[in-house]
Amino acid sequence: MDYHIQKLKPHDFDKLGNIWDMSKHEKISKTWYEQLVSGNRVIFVYTKGILVRKSEN
């Protein structure tokens, strides 16, 4: 099994709900999302399995 570290993009932010309960932490979730969009926060996600990248074309 392969393991990967991926930089989270703002449009994938909701996927963090698979890791922790964002509804219980709405204030921090909103803050982190705003920081991610503005470039003041970088979030990395550790995944296992096959990493599929979309073509840049």
- The confidence score (pLDDT) of residue 56 equals 53
- The confidence score (pLDDT) of residue 31 equals 96
- Name the pTM for this structure: 0.71
3-state secondary structure string, the chain? Answer: CCEEEEECCHHHHHHHHHCCCCCCCHHHHHHHHHHHHHCCCCCEEEEECCCCCCCCC
The per-residue pLDDT string of the chain (57 residues; one tens digit each, 9 = 90 and over) reads 688 888 999 999 998 888 888 889 999 999 999 999 999 999 998 888 765 555 554
